[in-house]
Amino acid sequence: MKVRERLREMGLSVTSLHDVSNMSRAIEEAKVIFVGGGNTFRLLKGLEDSDLLNPIRRKVAAGVPYIGSSAGCIVACPTLKTTKDMPVVQPNSFEALGLVPFQISPHYLDPDPASTHMGETQEERIMQFLEENDSPVVGLREGSILRIEGDDVTLKGPNNARIFRRGEQPIEAAPGSNLGLLLEKATAVVGSAA
Amino acid sequence: MKVRERLREMGLSVTSLHDVSNMSRAIEEAKVIFVGGGNTFRLLKGLEDSDLLNPIRRKVAAGVPYIGSSAGCIVACPTLKTTKDMPVVQPNSFEALGLVPFQISPHYLDPDPASTHMGETQEERIMQFLEENDSPVVGLREGSILRIEGDDVTLKGPNNARIFRRGEQPIEAAPGSNLGLLLEKATAVVGSAA
């Protein structure tokens, strides 16, 4: 609702998939695809159940811009494995749209040194992800945007992003940086046998 | 490691499943089962992959005490759907041990009114769970314990617990309360037709 009003103020009209009977056709005719927030598991299961993953992948491959916020930003990644949402429903698979070759961890919160909370921090959770998976992860703080065109991944907004790669110390990237190279998946290095 | 040292100080010896070759037999011979914390998805997948869910269920049904902390407390519930962990690996099913008929949401954090964080609070996440599922949920704050014997569910420790039931306002339960009745699954009420 908020999205529709904001975009109307900008002169754009929004067709919500929740309101149309033929969702695939609505995607076929879209000039831009926007996927907002909510529970990531429910979102991915909804996309699975409505058979929308491939239609969205095809449109984006054909050049239609995709804008994702929060859960909508995670489902653009290879999997939903960096969500912080509760797994309130079980999708068939954790595989998501895979529009980009890395994972995003939005709403990134820095550890609070004053906290008495015993649960893991977001950084610790991402480290667990990297123990099991080798996609790089961008910890995206509130107010940050990644603008992706071709191989360029530009960090916009007021804050640094935190970049996590398997087996490496996390690094901070400044606004305006092109993170493209940082976010390439680690390629296997074939060493010469000793 | 910490668990082993603490329990040794209390005169108890611990056999870690990570160290034994025959895990089913170690469970068969256990006098108490303790499952600690970590990533809940990884824990459940480990229990699935090692075929330990049924052996643990059988032992607990036969009267062996089960002690769970953090992830170990969530896997005692019907599903892992109230974890806050990242879904870093995909278990076959979200179904967990089901030793109790309700869900626990440990490390329960109250909303911080000063926060500028845009992600959902734990309460909002539990409300999403209840939109999709009808098991009651106990939000268990740091330092709290549920001691369960038969139908009695006693809240121990210094803090209130927050009880969430589908379609109802959450309520606070004081230390020492028996939450047994509160945590019964809502049963269908058959009304007389008008």
Q: Give residue limits of the domains in chain B.
A: 2-191
Give the model confidence (pLDDT) of A123-155 as tens digits: 999 999 999 999 999 999 999 999 999 889 999
Nearest to B107 among A84, A118, A129 (CB): A118
CB within 8 Å: A42 and B106? no
At B117 the pLDDT is 63
Which tokens is B24 given? 């089913």
Question: Is the model's pLDDT at A1 over the cut of 70?
Answer: no
A19-23, A107-111, B80-84, B108-112: which has the highest mean pLDDT? B80-84
Give the model confidence (pLDDT) of B1-48 as tens digits: 577 788 788 888 888 998 899 999 999 999 999 999 999 999 999 999
Shortest distance between the Cα of B83 and any Cα of chain A, in A, equals: 6
A121: Cβ–Cβ under 8 A, 6 or more apart, which residues? A109, A111
Catalytic, B107? Answer yes
Most A CBs within 10 A among B86, B116, B164, hence the mutation to make, goes to B86
- A103–chain B Cβ distance below 8 A for any pair: no
Question: Is the model's pLDDT at A56 over the cut of 50?
Answer: yes
Q: Phi and psi for A56 in degrees, rounded to 5? A: -70, -45
Average pLDDT of the segment spanning A90-115: 92
Give the model confidence (pLDDT) of B93-120 as tens digits: 999 999 999 999 999 999 887 776 666 7
Reported ipTM: the value is 0.84
Nearest to B88 among A42, A132, A142 (CB): A132
Place of tokens 């824990």: B43
Nearest to B86 among A39, A89, A125 (CB): A125
Lowest mean pLDDT: which of A171-180, A184-193, B79-88, B166-175?
A184-193
Nearest to B71 by CA among B41, B99, B92: B41
CB within 8 Å: A119 and B80? no
At B188 the pLDDT is 43
Q: Give the span between the Cα atoms of A70 and B85, in whole angstroms.
A: 17
Question: Is the model's pLDDT at A28 over the cut of 90?
Answer: yes
Residues of A in contact with B132 (CB under 8 A): 42, 88-89
Distances from the Cα of A86 to the Cαs of A133, A188, B103, B122, in angstroms?
Answer: 20, 33, 12, 9
Question: Sorting pLDDT into bands at 50, 70 and 90, what band is A118?
Answer: low
pTM of the complete model: 0.87
At A30 the pLDDT is 94
At A10 the pLDDT is 81
Catalytic, B85? Answer yes
Residues of A in contact with B159 (CB under 8 A): none
Which CATH entry fits the domain spanning A2-191: 3.40.50.620, 3.40.50.2000, 3.40.50.300, 3.40.50.880? 3.40.50.880
Question: Is the model's pLDDT at A190 over the cut of 50?
Answer: no
Average pLDDT of the segment spanning A94-117: 89
- B39–chain A Cβ distance below 8 A for any pair: yes
Question: Is the model's pLDDT at B132 over the cut of 70?
Answer: yes
Task: Compare B81 and A117 and report the one with higher pLDDT.
Answer: B81
Most B CBs within 10 A among A40, A82, A86, A123, hence the mutation to make, goes to A86
Please answer whether residues B105 and B126 qualify as being in contact, where contact means their C-beta atoms are separated by less than 8 angstroms: yes
The CA angle A26-B118-A140, to the nearest 5 degrees, is 80
